[in-house]
Amino acid sequence: MFSSRQMIFAIVFIIAFTGIIIFSYKTDKKSLPIYYKGSYKILIGFFIAIGFMVFVKYITTK
């Protein structure tokens, strides 16, 4: 489906993108802490939504 070079690019991109997002979040959180209060709830909701979509796909493909 994907060539090995495309997979390598995707993996490197995901790692770099995640690192940049984490760095940006940490610097913003220090300068504007009031806006990041309770942000973990959004992250948990995101993981629940992704997990639900994977679960539905798994159930419907059988």
Assigned token pair, 34: 């009031």
Give the separation between CA 23 and CA 17, rounded to whole angstroms: 10
pLDDT for the residue numbered 49: 97
Q: What is the pTM of this model?
A: 0.56
Give the separation between CA 46 and CA 26, rounded to whole angstroms: 19
Give the separation between CA 6 and CA 11, rounded to whole angstroms: 9
pLDDT for the residue numbered 1: 77
pLDDT for the residue numbered 59: 92
Write down the domain spans for the chain: 1-31, 36-62
Checking if the pLDDT of 44 tops 90, the result is yes
> 45-60: buried (b, 16+ CB within 10 Å) or exposed (e) per residue?
eeeeeeeeeeeeeeee
pLDDT for the residue numbered 20: 96
Regarding predicted confidence, which is higher, 26 or 1? 26
Reported as half-sphere exposure (CB side, CA atoms, 13 A), residue 25 has a value of 11
